[in-house]
Amino acid sequence: MRTNYELSDKMTELLNSYNRNSNAFQELIGEGGYMPPNQELLIDAISALSMGKNILLKGPTGAGKTKFAETLSMLFQQPMFSVNCSVDLDAESLLGFKTLANKDDQQVIEFVSGPVINAMQHGTFLYIDEINMAKPETLPLINGVLDYRRTITNPFTNELVSANKGFNVIAAINEGYVGTVPLNEALKNRFVVIEIPYIEGEQLKQLIQENTQLNDEHTIDLFVTLSADLIQAVVQGKIAEDAASIRALLDACDLSVLIPAERAIQRAIVDKLEEDREREFVLNLAATLF
């Protein structure tokens, strides 16, 4: 297989024979911590990255997008530079800024590279989180970085920067989230999309067992049911999406070791909801389960 990276033997073997050998997966990614809902998701992401394509992780909040990006960079043994998008994101937070420095008793203007330039020059991964939180005019600055050119003229130094081998972009998007704008088509065009759903059922059970202090199997099962009910309620538009975040669920599981489960759910999930109606809905759900 032709790739942009030196894949480890284990990863190459996995890519070549993944449907024959499913246990190897858990073993391989165990350390990174992301638990993929299915093998294809992992294989497709690894394949795209190994061929030098940017990937866009698309999914709801708390579904493990950031965890997955970290796991991928671990698998590729690539340190990761990160950008967190917000409306304040500007050229400086992407590319870097100029500052005054002292050199041989003289004041000189130095350029301090930001995450995009750093990742390009080091030939590593660049993680762009919440890519649709940025103002629509900001990210097109790096269109050339994201397509086959892999270059940018640094507006602060007028230097042409070309990415070194190994550079690649992983971005995360949560469409439909308040404050986000639909991702510009030209930008979207530059990515291969990998959908990241919430994990459920047995997998979620395993995640709770491995990542929280909760041991009681019956309680874990109840939290798994709660999660499925919350996801369903989000899909039906009854509650805000954040309510189904696995992050919040894991917090509730942890707290439930020391305080009653219903109160744990209140602190970790319910009290983050804006509307009375939503809070009541989740409290009722918790009350019927616990």
How far apart are CB 204 and ligand ADP at their closest, in Å? 8
Nearest to Mg ion of 58, 65 (CB atom)? 65
- CB-neighbour burial class of residue 123 (10 A; exposed 0-12, middle 13-18, buried 19+): middle
Nearest to ligand ADP of 72, 89 (CB atom)? 72
Q: Does residue number 33 form part of the binding site for ligand ADP (CB under 6 A)?
A: yes
Q: Does residue number 96 form part of the binding site for ligand ADP (CB under 6 A)?
A: no
DSSP 144-208: HHHSTT-EEE-TTT--EEEPPTT-EEEEEE-TT-TT--PPPHHHHTTSEEEE-PPP-HHHHHHHH
Give the 3-state secondary structure of residue 258: coil
The binder of 248, among Mg ion, ligand ADP, none, by C-beta within 5 to 8 A per type, is none
Q: Does residue number 227 form part of the binding site for ligand ADP (CB under 6 A)?
A: no
Write the CB contacts of 154 (distance below 8 Å, at least 6 apart in sequence).
95, 96, 111, 117, 160, 161
Pairing state between β 80-84 and 125-129: parallel
How far apart are CB 254 and ligand ADP at their closest, in Å? 11
Q: Does residue number 66 form part of the binding site for Mg ion (CB under 5 A)?
A: yes
Q: Does residue number 53 form part of the binding site for ligand ADP (CB under 6 A)?
A: no
The binder of 207, among ligand ADP, Mg ion, none, by C-beta within 5 to 8 A per type, is ligand ADP
Sites of contact with Mg ion (CB under 5 A): 65-66
Sites of contact with ligand ADP (CB under 6 A): 33-35, 61-67, 172, 199, 207, 246-247, 250
